[in-house]
Each structure stands twice: as C-alpha cells, then as structure tokens.
Amino acid sequence: MTKIEKLEHEVQQLDREELAAFREWFRAYDADAWDKQIETDAKAGKLRGFLKEIDASVDREEDRL
C-alpha cells in the first residue's frame, strides 16, 4: 500500500468533525506551500516573463479604451 493509499484509507475513517478539521488544516497547509513556492520562484526570477506579459496585456487594454 502506498502512502497515498494509506492516507486515503485514514481520511475515509474520519467522522464529519474530524474531516472538517482535516480539510481546514490541509487548506492552510496547501496555501502556505503555494505561498512559499511563489516566493521562491519570484526570488529566482521565474515570474519576470509572466509579469511582462501582464504589463503588455494591460497596455493593450488601455490602448483600446
């Protein structure tokens, strides 16, 4: 049995209150991991191209107005 399968089994055993608490914990855990990844990517310069695309898109939209 893989780790994921074990986790799936354990989650299926939770009652409603435990599942709600787990869901909230996981949401916060996942959001924190996402924030850390964005921060790491930003420091590495991985977002520069994306930000340039956004700036160009905003400029094009302003030109249309």
Question: Is a pLDDT exceeding 80 seen at residue 61?
Answer: no
What pLDDT does residue 33 have?
98
Distance (Å, rounded) from C-alpha 37 to C-alpha 11?
26
Smallest Cα–Cα separation from 24: which of 60, 16, 5? 16
- Residues 6 or more apart whose CB falls under 8 angstroms from that of 11 comprise 19, 22
Q: Kindly indicate the confidence band of residue 15, based on its pLDDT and cuts at 50, 70 and 90.
A: very high
pLDDT surpasses 90 at 58: no
Per-residue DSSP letter, 2: -
**What confidence score (pLDDT) does residue 50 get?**
80
| 19 within 8 A of 11, measured Cβ to Cβ | yes
Q: Output the pLDDT for position 48.
A: 86
